[in-house]
């Protein structure tokens, strides 16, 4: 069923209220950003008719088999710890959230929004419309009880960054993405209300609300990991972050400073080289190219430096294999990739899980599009455990105190939504 609607925002709000009553749902929102590679403005996948959950070991092969049997729409996520299946690395930190490393489902109902037109893919589209029409859109605050803490205080964070720089000086690595977790125990929130507020104050082109039983992913990411359009693969790594200015003149000055910042340019070109190398595993010979280098894009709270790397896909490389060949994304690991991942397991204090992973879809034409899970709240409602992480690239030129402030800048929207001050970890 294809139908025109007069108020897409109201329709989406009601549809999400209904979707959230199911055990599983996925909402992807482009938030109106112009993107030549996007297939829709928003997508809602509701209920699971078939599903797969797997942990690192043989997860990508299991997904490949699942995809062969289910050739229509699939939505789901890849967790960062799938790295343990791909490379000689491991994860030793405790898992407080309980997400699988990989989860995908065939939706019972799917809604695709393009402008003022919706497409409903369902055995009973009218049933879907009727249920959505019954929903209310009352505004909720979303947060009942949250006390945010950090795994690192500022002094401990700076000390670790200095240790990482010693590894860089020795030549163990060139760059790495060092992440810290912010968390709350006994946290009581309304996940959908919190997501809607987050998406309102920090709208980004790869936002997602994902419910998997009692677990929730509330995602406001600006970054695309990997997309496939026909025989073309597209990756758009982000490296380089700056705050927004108060006035247009200050904003423009900050953009120019970012555009000419040695350390930010170094970060970006390193990750571009990594992505180019990763894509060669799937690309036709000689087809990997950088479509845009050092592009500056402005979002509600930050400016970001984004590059676009593309290639032509080899005919004998499946979509699932193409994702595996580039996972985890270079912007969240470092270079050399394996050494950087091993070191971060040593210095970080939390299991990343879905953070640093990817959320997205496979479409019936065998295209796909996946984001990078950053600027994201993860919530286990049963355990009342809430978590979000922030990271920054550590290079030879990194200033530890500035990197700490960059993490707080990236966490700003989430802290604002939760309305709670950040407290230091207990000694």
User: Distance between the two ends of the chain, CA-based, in angstroms?
Assistant: 59
**How many Cα atoms sit within 13 Å of 195 on the Cβ side?**
24
Domain boundaries, the chain: 2-418
Residue 144 is predicted with a pLDDT of 78
Q: Which whole number is the average pLDDT over 10-32?
A: 96
Kind and range of the H or E run holding 3: strand 2-4
CA distance 323 to 226: 7
Pick the range with the lowest mean pLDDT from 75-84, 186-195, 409-418: 409-418
Higher local confidence (pLDDT), 383 or 299: 383
Whether pLDDT at 426 is above 50? no
Q: What is the mean pLDDT of residues 22-29?
A: 98
Say if residue 170's pLDDT is above 80: yes
User: pLDDT by residue (tens digit) across 313-368?
Assistant: 999 999 999 999 999 999 999 989 999 999 999 999 999 999 999 999 999 999 99
**Angle subtended at Cα 16 by Cα 353 and Cα 234, rounded to the nearest 5 degrees:** 50
Tens of pLDDT, residue by residue over 225-276, are 999 999 999 999 998 888 899 999 999 999 999 999 888 898 899 899 999 9
**DSSP states along 61-84:** HHHHHHHHH--S-EEEEE-GGGHH
pLDDT digits (tens, 9 = 90+) for 60-99: 999 999 999 999 999 999 999 999 999 989 888 989 999 9
> What pLDDT, on the 0 to 100 scale, is given for residue 425?
46
Q: Please state, in angstroms and rounded to a whole number, the distance separating the CA atoms of residues 313 and 230.
A: 9
Q: Is the peptide bond before 336 cis (omega within 30 degrees of 0)?
A: yes
Closest CA relative to residue 97, chosen from 357, 410, 409, 338: 357
pLDDT band at 141 (very low <50, low <70, confident <90, very high): low
What band does 138 get if pLDDT is binned at 50, 70 and 90? confident
| CATH number belonging to domain 2-418 | 3.60.120.10
- Report the chain's mean pLDDT, rounded to a whole number: 93
Q: What per-residue confidence (pLDDT) applies to 119? A: 97
Distant-in-sequence, close-in-space partners of 387: CB < 8 Å, separation ≥ 6: 96, 97, 181, 182, 183, 184, 350, 355, 377, 378, 379
State residue 159 phi and psi, 5-degree precision: -60, -40
Backbone angles phi, psi at 134, to 5 degrees: -80, -10
DSSP state of 90: -
Q: Is the dihedral of CA 172, 156, 379, 393 positive or negative?
A: negative
57 conformational bin, left if phi > 0, alpha if psi -120 to 50, beta if neither: left
pLDDT for 146 equals 87
Mean pLDDT of 398-423: 86
Identify which has the larger pLDDT, 306 or 266.
306
Kindly indicate the confidence band of residue 139, based on its pLDDT and cuts at 50, 70 and 90. Answer: low
């Amino acid at each position: 069923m294809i139908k025109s609607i007069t108020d897409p925002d109201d329709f989406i709000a009601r549809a999400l209220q209904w979707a959230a009553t199911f055990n599983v749902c996925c909402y992807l929102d482009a938030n109106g950003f112009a993107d030549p590679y996007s297939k829709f403005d928003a997508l809602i996948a509701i209920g699971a008719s078939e599903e797969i959950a797997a942990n690192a070991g043989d997860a990508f092969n299991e997904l490949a088999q699942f995809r062969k049997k289910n050739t229509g729409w699939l939505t789901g996520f890849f967790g960062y710890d799938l790295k343990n299946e791909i490379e000689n690395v491991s994860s030793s930190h405790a898992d407080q959230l309980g997400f699988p490393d990989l989860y995908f489902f065939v939706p019972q109902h799917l809604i695709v929004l393009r402008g003022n037109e919706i497409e409903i893919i369902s055995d009973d589209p009218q049933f879907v419309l009727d249920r959505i029409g019954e929903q209310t859109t009352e505004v909720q605050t979303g947060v009942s009880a949250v006390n945010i803490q950090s795994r690192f205080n500022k002094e401990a964070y700076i000390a670790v960054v200095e240790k990482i720089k010693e590894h860089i000086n020795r030549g163990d690595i060139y760059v790495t993405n060092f992440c810290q977790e912010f968390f709350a125990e006994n946290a009581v929130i309304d996940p959908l209300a919190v997501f809607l507020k987050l998406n309102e104050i920090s709208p980004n082109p790869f936002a997602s609300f994902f419910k998997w039983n009692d677990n929730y992913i509330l995602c406001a990411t600006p970054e695309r990991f990997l997309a496939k359009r026909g025989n073309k693969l597209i990756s758009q790594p982000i490296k380089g972050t700056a705050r927004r200015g108060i006035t247009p003149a200050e904003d423009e000055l900050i953009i120019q400073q970012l555009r000419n910042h040695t350390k930010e340019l170094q970060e970006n070109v390193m990750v571009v080289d990594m992505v180019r190398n990763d894509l060669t595993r799937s690309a036709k010979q000689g087809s990997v190219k950088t479509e845009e280098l050092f592009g500056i894009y402005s979002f509600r709270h930050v400016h970001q430096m984004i590059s676009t790397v593309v290639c032509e896909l080899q005919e004998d490389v499946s979509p699932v294999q193409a994702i595996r060949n580039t996972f985890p994304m270079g912007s969240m690991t470092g270079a050399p990739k394996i050494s950087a991942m091993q070191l971060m397991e040593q210095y970080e204090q939390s299991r990343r899980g879905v953070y640093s992973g990817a959320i997205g879809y496979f479409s019936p034409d065998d295209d796909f599009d996946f984001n990078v899970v950053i600027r994201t709240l993860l919530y286990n409602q049963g355990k009342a455990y809430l978590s979000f992480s922030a990271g920054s690239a550590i290079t030879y030129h990194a200033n530890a105190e500035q990197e700490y402030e960059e993490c707080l800048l990236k966490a700003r929207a989430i802290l604002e939504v939760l309305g709670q001050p950040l407290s230091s970890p207990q000694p």
